[in-house]
Amino acid sequence: MRNPQQTRHKLLQAATQELVTLGFAGIRVDRLAAEAGINKRMIYHYFGNKEGLCAWALDSQVVCLERHESAQRQRASATANVPEMPLAGALRNLLAPLLPDSSADSSAVERASLGREHSPNTDGIQRAAIILARALLDLRGAQSDYTLTLREEAAWQRVMPWLTSLAAPDGLSAPPPTLIPQAKQRLSISPKIQPI
């Protein structure tokens, strides 16, 4: 017997993993269905298309960061060091073209349950930050005529450093490994002949 909630959950988990490794452009419906162990028709049945599935996966990541930021704000309010504007709200506004329509058939209760699946632990926050930063960059780079208003540009300038710091929980003190020059190595593919 089919369990629609479990099917949706499996598809969202597979989409989230694919978003981490491949980004939106690299996701393929056949691979998503295989990863989830579900017939690919279910993607179309529950989400309409690949874009709908990815929109829900992105939304669940935004919910995860909203919960994390809310917890941070509660802790910071005790010391009166609360930022003036929630960053997750600015992030949601920037990602609006990619997120599901709030008036869609799914309820706010279902959206909240999606966010609970990604508890705000360090791994979940890091994953969400990577996915959302990549989605913002994909959104900006995919459209040659994509322009931001002054307000959106200001939000971009605040959100991207926040996502970057969340994606690297140890901070940015150490340079990324790709920036450290590697020592050159010489490889020979010719066999070494040894006398008998």
Note whether residue 87 is domain-resident: yes
Residue 114 parent element (H or E): helix 108-117
Number of DSSP helices (H) and strands (E) in the chain, helices first: 8, 0
Q: Are the beta carbons of 66 and 116 closer than 8 angstroms?
A: no
CA angle 146, 99, 160 (to 5 degrees): 60
Q: Is residue 11 part of a domain?
A: yes
CB-CB contact of 123 with 49 (8 Å):
no
- Please give the tally of structural domains in the chain: 1
pLDDT score recorded for residue 179: 39
123 located within any domain? yes
In the Cβ-directed half-sphere of 73, how many Cα atoms lie within 13 Å? 12
On the question of pLDDT at 59 being above 90, the answer is yes
Contact 57, 36 (CB under 8 A): no
pLDDT mean over 102-129: 59
176 belongs to a structural domain: no
Tell me what pLDDT residue 144 has: 67
pLDDT digits (tens, 9 = 90+) for 42-52: 999 999 998 89
Give the least confident one: 22-31, 57-66, 105-114, 151-160: 105-114
Q: 3-state DSSP call for residue 9?
A: helix
Residue-wise pLDDT for 63-102, tens only, equals 999 998 888 888 777 666 555 567 888 888 888 888 887 5
**pLDDT higher for 179 or 171?**
171
CATH number of the domain that residue 30 is part of: 1.10.357
Confidence of residue 118 (pLDDT cuts 50, 70, 90): very low
Burial status of residue 111 (CB atoms within 10 A of its CB: 0-12, 13-18, 19 or more): middle
Distance CA 79, CA 72 (A): 11
Q: What is the pLDDT of residue 111?
A: 47
Nearest to 36 by CA among 15, 19, 20: 15
83 is in which domain, residue-wise? 4-169
Better pLDDT: 89 or 34: 34
Calculate what percentage of the chain has a pLDDT beyond 70: 69
The whole-number average pLDDT for the span 127-152 is: 81
The DSSP code for 182 is P
Q: Give the separation between CA 27 and CA 17, rounded to whole angstroms.
A: 10
pTM score: 0.71
Is 191 contained in some domain? no
Phi, psi dihedrals of residue 11, rounded to the nearest 5°? -65, -40
The pair of three-digit structure tokens given for residue 148, joined into one six-digit string? 């931001």
Given a contact cutoff of 8 angstroms between Cβ atoms, the answer to whether 79 and 86 are in contact is no
Residue 58 domain flag = yes
